[in-house]
Amino acid sequence: MKRSAGLHPYLISVALLLMALLASVALGPVFVSPGDVLRVLLAQIPGLPVKADWQEFAPTIVLSIRLPHAMLMALTGAALAGSGAAFQGLFRNPLADPYLIGVASGAGLGAVFALAVKWPSNLLGMYSVPAAAFLGAIATIALVYSLARVGRTLPTTTLILAGVAVSAFASSLTSFLMLRSNQELRRALSWLLGGSVMDGWDPFWAALPYVLVGLGFLSFSGHSLNLLQFGEEQAQQLGLNTERAKLLLILAASLATAAAVAFSGVIGFIGLVVPHTIRLVWGGAPHSAHDYRRLLPLSILGGSSALLAADLLARMLLAPQVLPVGIVTALAGAPFFLYLLRRAKDQAFW
Amino acid sequence: MLEVESLYFRYNGHDVLQNVSLRIQAGEVLALIGPNGAGKSTLIRTISGVLKARLGAVMVYGREISSLSPMQRARYMAVVPQARQLPGAFSVYQTVALGRTPYLGWLGKTGKSDDLAVQRALEQTQLSHLAERMVGSLSGGEQQRVLLARALAQETPILLMDEPTTHLDLEHQTVLLNLVRSLTVERGLAVLAALHDLNLASLYADRVALIAAGRIHAMGAPQQVLTSEQLSHVYHVPVQVVPHPQYGSPLVLPDGRRTR
């Protein structure tokens, strides 16, 4: 089997991501030319002779405003799509995503609880928000898992029902907490719709370690996820310690989701649409993207690009007004998902 | 090689396996026969380690399987399940390569020896030309061969098969069991196969274990086990047993007129 073949999906994904990042930094209320963006970025590398012939405001806009925001969006998209792909594989359910099974709502509840107790004014407080979101996510998934489990199996129907019910419960508690702390209501509401409420590099650096650990683990879990597609019994007979593998996968995916939700708010559909799009585009033999060793890295890259694109739309559509990006992903994601489903009717889609 | 010592398995307060003991030598095929619900699949699953026995022991090369990790167990025993519910979106090669799991590091990266083992398993099961096809586009017989190839790529001394021929037509049944038979001899495998078809068991197995209500009712050469008295007793219908015209092994005929 040729190993070098089948590289081009990665090249395309990386190229798309770089283009999305560049566009995201260049476009906004004030246009910064891509050339200026690149020169400003290159000038950051010490020792590189770059002539400072850019517009005066370019470094501030690029380095302090747009790049940190773009990086946070890229990180969030990667976390949501990567954990979406992992949840789909883990639960062997094409509809599983961080939102449907309640992880994201649980993370939201955890984050809002932390914020309601005390809005983080210092750095330590801010680093604790993803930790609270993570605890909320883990508690939710443990609850959903135990509710949905029938004997030794995890049937699709009970999983979805338990996920939706627990998700609704967590959302109600979130709303309740937000209503109680009315001075933060507007801020929290825009957060809930997927509008990042913090500026600068702080949220990016606060979320980064959680996402790196979560996605880092997931990127190397492709083989375990492939085995789990055959059912837990066969996976075990092929040599997988299934209980340990499932636990680690849930922890890693929840960690990434929690960090994303804690700093970027509730952004739906990325975790569902991106992995399915990749399966549809690159799902053919022999280097099928249904292979989780390929699907996970491609979803992580694709998730970044997709959320950057959605964020760009959110900022440009009604400029100068900025829409919460969660509205854009839902408005674009839902019809796009239906289109994918229709197109996929006679293919080996799942 | 594989020893099962007075195994008991209980499910929902009901003993599904009671005092089951058997031994399989290298180069031997033991067929497991018996009515639906007699405990054939349960026995195979318990031996493979995915079900925990209440009492008794399963030993491979003198080691108790409950003391082994899933990965260690998978180096001793490979299981060929029924082809139902095989994920369709993996290629044949990808599926068979999963048989190499017990030899891979935690990154799951395959090396040259793994590729060779997969190629060999594909050749043995005559699947090489289908290697890059999606499993979902194959026929039931081909999918069952993919599962056999995956088990062969595992390169284990013991092979457990759970009704591998149930959904296959006459040709594919014969091809599959001939292959298992010849590999058993060549590689010195120890094979335990649950078979629904008594005549296939008679033709292909060295010994037959007749299991009923979780107990081994009779075990031995096909001529000793496949008798009309024992089969009528266990299956609750009258049967006739005649010798195979060429090999002399017992052939089981249902007694159609008298059951009607």
List, in order of start, the domains of chain B with CATH numbers: 2-61+157-259 (3.40.50.300), 84-155 (no CATH)
Measuring CA to CA, how many Å separate B242 from each of A41, B173, B174, B225, B248? 87, 21, 20, 13, 8
- Which chain A residue has the Cα nearest residue B47? A237
pLDDT averaged over every residue in chain A: 82
pLDDT of residue A190: 58
How close is the nearest chain B Cα to the Cα of A199, in Å?
A: 37
pLDDT of residue A4: 45
Mean pLDDT of B113-128: 92
Which chain A residues are within 8 Å of B99, Cβ to Cβ? 238
Least confident of A215-219, A228-232, B47-51, B254-258: B254-258
A345: tokens are 């009717």
* Digit-coded pLDDT (tens) for A234-249: 999 999 998 888 888 9
Sequence-distant (6+) residues with CB within 8 A of A337 are A269, A272, A273, A276
Judge: domain A54-343, CATH 1.10.3470.10.
Answer: yes
Whole-angstrom distance, CA of residue A284 vs CA of residue B117 = 24
- Which chain B residue has the Cα nearest residue A239? B71
pLDDT of residue B206: 95
| Contact: B87, A288; criterion CB under 8 Å | no
ipTM, two decimals, is 0.91
- Which chain B residue has the Cα nearest residue A232? B50
Mean pLDDT of B73-95: 88
| B132 in reach of chain A (CB within 8 A) | yes
pLDDT of residue B42: 93
Mean pLDDT of A101-126: 72
Phi then psi dihedrals of residue A88, to 5 deg: -60, -45
Whole-angstrom distance, CA of residue A138 vs CA of residue B109 = 30
pLDDT of residue B99: 95
pLDDT of residue B75: 95
Write the Ramachandran bin of A265: left for phi over 0, alpha for psi from -120 to 50, otherwise beta. left
pLDDT of residue B28: 95
Considering CB atoms only, which of A223, A224, A230 is closest to B87?
A230
pLDDT of residue A2: 41
Phi then psi dihedrals of residue A298, to 5 deg: -65, -35
Considering CB atoms only, which of A229, A230, A241 is closest to B69?
A241
Highest mean predicted confidence (pLDDT) among A276-280, B60-64, B190-194: B190-194
| A236 in reach of chain B (CB within 8 A) | yes
Whole-angstrom distance, CA of residue A177 vs CA of residue A167 = 15
| B76 in reach of chain A (CB within 8 A) | no
Locate the domains of chain A by residue range: 54-343
- Which chain B residue has the Cα nearest residue A241? B70
Q: What is the H or E stretch that residue B8 is in?
A: strand B2-11
| B133-149 per-residue burial string, b: 16 or more CB within 10 A, e: under 16 | bbbeebebbbbbbbbbb
| Contact: A288, B85; criterion CB under 8 Å | no
Size of interface A-B (CB pairs under 8 A): 90
| Contact: A240, B50; criterion CB under 8 Å | no
pLDDT of residue A119: 54
Which chain B residues are within 8 Å of A244, Cβ to Cβ? none
Whole-angstrom distance, CA of residue A194 vs CA of residue A208 = 18
* Digit-coded pLDDT (tens) for A94-103: 777 887 778 8
Nearest alpha-carbon partner for B226 in B200, B245, B255? B200
Whether residue B33 is predicted with pLDDT greater than 50 in this model: the reply is: yes
Report DSSP letters for A200-218, one per residue.
SSHHHHHHHHHHHHHHHHH
Q: What is the H or E stretch that residue B219 is in?
A: strand B215-220
| B164 in reach of chain A (CB within 8 A) | no
How close is the nearest chain B Cα to the Cα of A133, in Å?
A: 29
